[in-house]
Every structure is written in C-alpha cells, then in structure tokens.
Structure 1
Amino acid sequence: MIKSELIEKLAAENRHLTHGEVERVVNVILNGMTDALSQGGRVEIRGFGAFSVRDRPARAGRNPRTGEAVDVPAKSVPFFKSGKELRERLNASGDA
C-alpha cells in the first residue's frame, strides 16, 4: 500500500471528511513520526510495531564496477520492529 492508497481508503471509510482533510491528517501523522525519529526519538504504535533510529559506523566499501576501495561515511538509518499482534496476524494466515 502506498500513501495515496491509504488516503483513498481512509476517505472512503470516513465519508464525513473530505479527501483534503484526510490527506492533511495522514501528512500530520507521518510528519510527526519523521520529526520524532529525526530528533533521535522512537515511535511506537501498539499492536503494529516500533520505529527507531540506529547508527551505522563508517566503513570501507568497494566500488562494484572497479573494485576500488571507497570510504562509506557513518549514517543513521530507520529501524522497524514489528509488534506481537502484527506478527501473530501474519503468521496465522500462513499455517502450513
């Protein structure tokens, strides 16, 4: 599901809200999550999962075309850990 599909689904289920209002609500939520993560915080949605930031140290990499050594700088990356309810729903549908 992409952002526009989420907005369409929410607008269809909440006919009392305009498409623009639903889009603003989704944007406020996503911007709030982004701001919290960019400040080093954590975002937890009970039953769904938790987003956090992990730091990756600088390392030596290789250019795949030339094989030349390249310095890869340190960076922060988002990390998602699924919640118990989400894992249970995903695994319940795949009883093999």
Structure 2
Amino acid sequence: AQSAVDAVFSVITGELKKGGDVRLVGFGNFTVSKRAASTGRNPQTGAEVKIPARTVPKFSAGKGLKDAVN
C-alpha cells in the first residue's frame, strides 16, 4: 500500500513541477499557483525583509470529498 501511495504522490509532484494540473474526480484538484514577490517584516527586529516570488502547490477539494467529510 505504501508503494502505491508513493507512486501517486510521485506522479502528482512530477505533473505539478511541469506546471500542469492534476484532477482526481470525486477527490479534488491539485494546481500550481504563482506568488508575487512581497515585502515582509521581521517581528523581532522590525526590519523589512524581501520575500521572493515563488511557485506553490494548491489543492481544492472536490464535491465527493466534501460530501464524505460532512
């Protein structure tokens, strides 16, 4: 079972690295989102910190998963 889960995560990760989307009907969608660079603040010193732009994975639950949880 562990190898099957690892294989699924490997496929999802590979597709997201290429910039693609993964849709699992009844479960949800994995997508890639780009975050713009921004300026933050160090809470200890108050100094401004530049936060670089980055690409992050996002997951949105499908109807089947939402219904199963509720």
Equivalent residue, structure 2, for 1:17:
none
Equivalent residue, structure 1, for 2:3:
24
CA distance in 2: counterparts of 1:87 and 1:28, whole angstroms: 24
- Relative to its length, the structure with more helix (as a share) is 1
**Match of 2:32, SS?**
strand
Equivalent residue, structure 2, for 1:57:
36
User: Higher RCO, 1 or 2 (CA under 8 Å, sep at least 6)?
Assistant: 2
- Relative to its length, the structure with more strand (as a share) is 2
* Matched pairs, number: 70
* Segments of 4+ moved more than 6 angstroms: none
Shift of 1:24: 2.9
Letter of the 2:27 counterpart: F
Which residues of 2 match residues 80-95 of structure 1 at below 5 A? 80-91=59-70
Percent identity for Structure 1 against Structure 2: 41
**Match of 1:50, SS?**
strand
CA distance in 2: counterparts of 1:82 and 1:26, whole angstroms: 18
Shift of 1:26: 2.4
Residue 4 (structure 2) pairs with residue 33 (structure 1) = no
**Match of 1:53, SS?**
strand
Structure whose CA Rg is larger: 1
Shift of 1:85: 1.1
Shift of 1:74: 0.2
Structure 1 unaligned regions, length at least 5:
1-21, 92-96
**Worse-superposed segment, 69-78 or 81-90:** 81-90
Structure 2 unaligned regions, length at least 5:
none
